[in-house]
Amino acid sequence: MNETTSPGYGGVAKTLHWLVFALVFAQYVVALAMPDIGRGTLPGTLINLHMSLGATILLVIVVRWLWRIGHRVPLSTAGPRWERDVARIAHALLYVLLALNPILGWMNASARDWKITIYGIVALPHLVAARARIGMIAGDVHTFLAWTLLVLIGLHVAAALYHYLLRRDGVLQRMLPGAGV
């Protein structure tokens, strides 16, 4: 580890990080495979899976937030201050979008009066009334933020690769499975 790099994340934090990665990856694959959602669309298998993955992402993000409150990891001191500030803002935006977007999708499903059953087991209540305008608007915002999130994830990956390949400062290794704390 480079002397300017702080200690890595613990096993729980790494597990939650990579679990979110896997869930979000699966979510985008399912979203791209789903039929277009129009006025009369009824939720089939892929749409139900999409909603189930969204609820799971929301749950894991909440657990990750709660874990992080009690298990702080010192920020890296590698690189200039502006890079650390951008990293902190980007991480905050990732957390916000990963929590907000499932809620917006849930609002949209509620406004469409869809029965929302997570993995066919747990029924969720509607967040808004059927045909509520706010729920329909939430669907449009959900789509926009999904693309925004994808761009932000791309920047996150690019920054990790920048630290690994160019800076060689150990920042990426802090979150890699199997890397020491």
- List Cα–Cα distances, 122 to 104, 118, 125, 129, 134, in angstroms: 19, 5, 10, 20, 25
Q: What secondary structure does DSSP assign to 43-61, as a single string?
A: --HHHHHHHHHHHHHHHHH
Within 13 Å, how many C-alpha atoms sit on residue 164's CB side? 11
Does residue 117 surpass a pLDDT of 50? yes
Domain containing residue 27: 11-174
Beta-carbon neighbour count of residue 79 at 10 Å? 17
In a domain? residue 56: yes
pLDDT at 153: 98
Does residue 135 surpass a pLDDT of 90? yes
In a domain? residue 6: no
Yes or no: say if 46 and 34 are a contact pair by the CB < 8 Å rule: yes
In a domain? residue 169: yes
How many structural domains is the chain composed of?
1
Yes or no: say if 179 and 18 are a contact pair by the CB < 8 Å rule: no
In a domain? residue 52: yes
Looking at residues 34-49, what average pLDDT do you find? Answer: 90
Percentage with pLDDT > 90 across the chain: 69
Does residue 23 surpass a pLDDT of 60? yes
Distance, CA of 135 to CA of 141 (rounded, Å): 10
Distance, CA of 131 to CA of 125 (rounded, Å): 15
The whole-model pTM stands at: 0.90
Interval 52-80: pLDDT, tens:
999 999 999 999 999 989 888 766 776 78
In a domain? residue 142: yes
Interval 4-17: pLDDT, tens:
445 678 899 999 99
Interval 143-180: pLDDT, tens:
999 999 999 999 999 999 998 999 888 888 888 887 65
In a domain? residue 87: yes
Distance, CA of 159 to CA of 155 (rounded, Å): 6
In a domain? residue 180: no
pLDDT at 6: 57
pLDDT at 4: 44
Give the burial string for 28-50 (b: 16+ CB within 10 Å, else e): bebbeebeebeeeeebeeebbbb
In a domain? residue 85: yes
Q: What is the mean pLDDT of the chain?
A: 91
